[in-house]
């Protein structure tokens, strides 16, 4: 259940992160935004467990997932800018 919950939270976090992250190099598709949000939720979960903020098997919450999604979106934008 934790894996599915991380996907659902990541989906919502991706949408929120896209609203919070301005820029021209953002992913423009809904599916890509959702996927980057899910990746951000997994990054936040992994980072939180590595730093000891979350217990093993415990996922990041909505705020942590939004922060992770914003980080992923900023990295995505930097890679797209560098590519262009």
- The pTM for the full model equals 0.78
| Residues 13, 62 contacting (CB under 8 angstroms) | yes
Give the pLDDT confidence score for residue 54 in this predicted structure: 82
Give the pLDDT confidence score for residue 23 in this predicted structure: 65
Average pLDDT over residues 58-80: 84
Closest of 32, 52, 83 to residue 69, by C-alpha: 32
- Domain chopping of the chain, boundaries: 2-83
pLDDT band at 24 (very low <50, low <70, confident <90, very high): low
Tell me the pLDDT tens digit for each residue of 28-48. Answer: 677 887 888 888 888 888 888
Transcribe the chain into DSSP letters: -HHHHHHHHHHHHHHHHHHH---SSS--SHHHHHHHHHHHHHHHHHHHHHHTSS-TTPPP-HHHHHHHHHHHHHHHHHHHHHH-
């Amino acid at each position: 259940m934790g894996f599915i919950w991380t996907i659902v939270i990541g989906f919502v976090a991706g949408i929120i992160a896209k609203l919070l992250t301005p820029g021209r190099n953002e992913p423009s598709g809904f599916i890509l935004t959702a996927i980057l949000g899910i990746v951000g939720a997994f990054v936040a979960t992994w980072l939180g467990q590595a730093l000891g903020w979350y217990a093993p098997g415990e996922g990041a919450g909505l705020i942590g997932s939004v922060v992770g999604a914003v980080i992923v979106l900023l990295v995505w934008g930097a890679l797209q800018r560098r590519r262009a």
